[in-house]
Every structure is written in C-alpha cells, then in structure tokens.
Amino acid sequence: MADTAHILILDDDVDVAYAAQMLLRRRHGRVTTLDDPARLPALLDAGIPDVVLLDLNFTPGRIDGAEGLAVLDRLRALAHPPAVIALTAYADVPLAVEALKRGAGDFITKPWDNARLIAAVDAALARRAARANAGFNDLMGESAAMREVKAMIASVAPTEANVMVLGENGAGKELVARAIHAASRRAGQTFLAVDMGALPESTFESELFGHRKGSFTDAKADRAGRFQAARGGSLFLDEIGNMPLASQAKLLTALERREVTPIGADRPEAIDVRIVSATNLEEARLFDPGVFRPDLLFRLNTIVIRVPPLRARRDDIPGLLHHYLSLYETQYQRPVRELAPGALERLCAWDWPGNVRALRHACERAVILAAQAEYRYEDFGLAAPAQAPVSVPAPVSAPARADGEFKLGALERETIAAALDKAKGNISLAARMLGLSRAALYRKLGKHGI
C-alpha cells in the first residue's frame, strides 16, 4: 500500500464509484464512496479527505455541471480543503475549465484510463502534501534573499514572458509559480500544474495536447489536453528537467508554433497559455545538450528566478517556525507552546535539507508528539546535530542489532537516502525507483527527517 491517504469518490453512479474504489484501494489505505452530495456534511464532520473525485452531475438528464460545481465551491471554502479532481462523462472542455477555475486541481473524463486516474490522484496528493492547505500558499519570509525573489515576481508577473524557476526540492518553486499567476493579467483564469517528470513518454502527447475519440484503443471519448484546459491562464510545467529528449522536442514544437494537434485530429488548435516551468536540476546541467535541448531552454528561460534554499535565508526560520507551529496547533487542537530555551538557536543553525517542506513536516511532528510545556529541539525529529555534514549512507543488506532484530526503520531510511542520491535529489525519479507515489515518498521523507 503506497500511503494512508483518504480518498473520497462522490458519484451517483454506484458502479462507477465501486470501480474507482477497487482500483484506488490497491494504493491507498482508505477509499470512501458517496452517491448523494446531501450526505457530504456528515462525512466531513468525521474528517476531511485528502482527495475528492467529484462527479459534476447527479440528477439524471442534467449535463450543465451546476450541482458538482456547487459541491466544489463548498469543498474549497473549507478551512483545510481537499484536493479535488472533477469527473465528467461528457468530455465537456468548458465545464472542465470552469471546474479548474473554481479550484479543482485536475479533471478526468469517464470512462477513464486506469493509469491516468492513478496518476491524477498521486499528483493531487503530492500537491496537497506540498501545500498542506490554502494558508501555505503565501511566500513567507522577509530576508534579503526572499525580498529579491518577491521583487522579481512583481517585475515579471504583469508581462507575458516565460519564466523558469530554479531551486532545491521543498524550496517553494510552485509557490513562486502561483504568485506569478496571481499577480498577472491572467489571474482570473486557470492555473494548471503538470508534473512533467511523472508523464509517461507513451502518453505525453495525449496528456498535453489531448486526443480524439477512437484515435487509439483506449480513446473512448474526446479529451482536452493540458494546453487546452489552461487556455487563457497559466500552465506550470514542474520537474521540467526530467523530460526525455524526445518529449522535449514535441513540447518545443508546440511552443514555437503556438498550436497543438490533438492525437487523431486533422487540424491544429491555437494555444493561449503563459508558461512557467521549474526544475531542481543544477543550472549547469540544464546547459548540457545531453540532458536538455538548448533551443527549448531558450524558449523557457526568458526570465529565471532562483529560489534560495532555507539555509541561505536563516533569518526567515523563526517566522516560519511560528507560522507552522501555530497552524498545526489550531489544526490538531493542541495547546499553544513556546520553544524551550536554546531550541530556536539550534533550529536556526540546522541546514534543513528538504528546505521549507522539511521544516513544515518537523513542525507538524512537534505539535503532535510534544509532551512537555515547551517545544524541545528533540520534538522536531531532526536526525543529526545542527550543521552536521549531510551524508548519504550506503545501502546495506541487513542492518541488524546484536540480538538479531532487524532495524526496519533504519533500513527504510537508508534505502530512501540511497535512492535520492542515485536520482541526484529528483523526487519523481527516486519515487519511481522505490515503487512509491511522490506523495508517499514525501511522507516518508518527513517521517525520517530526510
């Protein structure tokens, strides 16, 4: 089982809901179905799910999506909203786009491709893990480094220039992309994020450019690609550095011509999106033609924003700690605590591999597990002393205690660290090597303080 997320399927077609439930149960610990939106409040009282698969029509004969959009608005208004994936049986692009504008993270047309549904849920979980809730979307920090990033955003957002965001995992690249969109002339339109590293090469064109019914075996209906779904808005291409060279060539053609041709279509469609891309690759590697096409790079990096790692802006750490501790105290209804003497100094001295994401996970852990009147440094679960050299242990076949009991936690941590090292810090690649979803890997990173 990949993780213990709670998935809710809200669909009046019991057979459709059951099929999705059986598919997703193989990967997720809890999958609930609901056929009547009137019963949703009672379910939410028992706990908010991580992801909701939301049908847009419930009354027989209706195809306007008004019922589903009303439920979407209700979900997005929650203090800690779930990620929402819209379901529609009609491949209605305007309706899907309206759902995206109102806060859905993705849409799926019925009948769906199983791999596509699984990928959509995994991506939704990863995005929710990265943001935790809507309150995390602000770019926090007033250090000189962050003021420079915010000044860059303010300068480039009103333009139509393509922007490439560089930075380590967990530094806040997607938050920068969302801030650019929010301050742009396209702010009232769709912001759509796509994990390019998770797109299989075999479905790359279908996912980005769409397809026509009957164009291949599983194409049971017309489907809009991401370029069409984000029309008028911003398309965030995350993990852009992980794309195979062949896929890079297809993306380059679309950007050069400002048009895409859905699979099976006989004519191209004009595209109107602002491209923001991001990667955790070292900048020097982007200029290696064996890794990234120079002509595509020049299309994407008109403006480059470099997001500093947390260790380069330690002045922001106290404010981030206060924000996340307060937030989780409220979320988990725990008492307000102060940091014990000396704890803040040690936390500010820690290098925070994993950056703001790691700090957030550490704060959540501290709020849940702290047993004293104050937060101690040990409550944050940081595995090594402050500023200790970060090393990747070599994987061992069987780390065991003298009494023969295997240390499964240590083995898991070492395996994950080794995979990250081999993947050069690329989360998507490391997750595939480990056979995990990105969301599951993020949770394990937080669990082990990596």
Output the domain CATH number for residue 351: 1.10.8.60
CATH of the domain at 412: 1.10.10.60
Q: Tell whether 129 is covered by a domain.
A: no
- Residue 150 located in a structural domain: yes
- pLDDT for residue 130 is more than 90: no
Q: Are residues 68 and 44 in the same domain?
A: yes
The rounded percent of the chain whose pLDDT value lies above 90 is 44
Q: State the pLDDT at residue 103.
A: 82
Instruction: Specify if 268 maps to a domain.
Output: yes
pLDDT in tens, 298-332: 999 999 999 999 999 999 999 999 999 998 998 88
The answer, yes or no, to whether residue 205 has pLDDT greater than 70, is: yes
In the listed set 121, 150, 174, which residue is the last one of a domain according to the structure?
121
- Can you give the pLDDT at residue 408? 61
Q: Are residues 223 and 350 in the same domain?
A: no
> Do β-strands 3-10 and 28-34 pair in parallel, antiparallel, or remain unpaired?
parallel
- Indicate if 177 and 300 belong to the same structural domain: yes
Answer with the one of 69, 86, 121 that is the final residue of a domain.
121
Last residue of a domain, one of 308, 339, 362: 308
Residues 287 and 149 in one domain: yes
Which stretch of 4-13, 83-92, 232-241 has the lowest confidence by average pLDDT? 83-92
pLDDT tens digit sequence for 397-432: 444 444 444 456 667 777 888 787 777 677 777 777
Integer Cα distance of 391 and 281 in angstroms: 19
204 closest CA partner among 167, 156, 254 = 254
In this structure, which long-range contacts are made by residues 328-336, counting pairs with CB atoms below 8 Å and at least 24 apart in sequence?
328/363, 328/364, 328/367, 328/368, 329/367, 331/80, 331/133, 332/367, 332/368, 334/367, 334/368, 334/370
Who contacts 244 (Cβ-Cβ below 8 Å, separation ≥6)?
201
Pick from 121, 250, 277, 281: nearest CA to 193: 277
- For residue 61, the Cα-to-chain-centroid distance in whole angstroms is 35
Res 133: pLDDT: 38
Longest dimension (CA), the chain: 70
Is the per-residue pLDDT at 436 higher than 80?
no
Number of domains in the chain: 4
pLDDT over threshold 50, residue 239:
yes
The answer on 263 and 183 residing in a single domain is yes
Q: Is there a single domain that holds both residue 301 and residue 162?
A: yes
Does the residue 132 lie in any domain?
Answer: no
CATH of the domain at 91: 3.40.50.2300
**Helix axes 438-448 and 408-422, enclosed angle (nearest 10):** 120
Q: Is residue 133 part of a domain?
A: no
Do 224 and 290 have their domain in common?
yes
Same domain, 147 and 283: yes
Q: How far is CA 89 from CA 105, 212, 220, 331, 441, in A?
A: 18, 15, 11, 36, 32
**239 and 283, same domain (yes or no):** yes
- For the ranges 213-227, 232-246, 320-334, 370-384, which has the lowest average pLDDT? 213-227
- Most confident range (mean pLDDT) of 88-102, 127-141, 163-177, 212-226 is 163-177
Q: Do the domain assignments include residue 211?
A: yes
pLDDT at 97 (0 to 100): 77
Is there a single domain that holds both residue 315 and residue 302? no
In this structure, the answer to whether residues 286 and 323 fall within a common structural domain is no
**pLDDT tens-digit readout, 86-100:** 987 755 667 777 888
Residue 208 lies in a domain: yes
**Domain-embedded: residue 334:** yes
pLDDT at 393: 40
Residue 450 predicted with pLDDT over 80: no
Domain extent, residue 183, equals 138-308
Q: What is the CATH number of the domain that holds 263?
A: 3.40.50.300
Tens-digit pLDDT profile for residues 28-84: 778 999 998 888 988 887 788 889 999 988 887 777 888 889 999 889 887 678 889
Q: Does 374 or 395 have the greater pLDDT score?
A: 374
Q: Are residues 292 and 320 in the same domain?
A: no
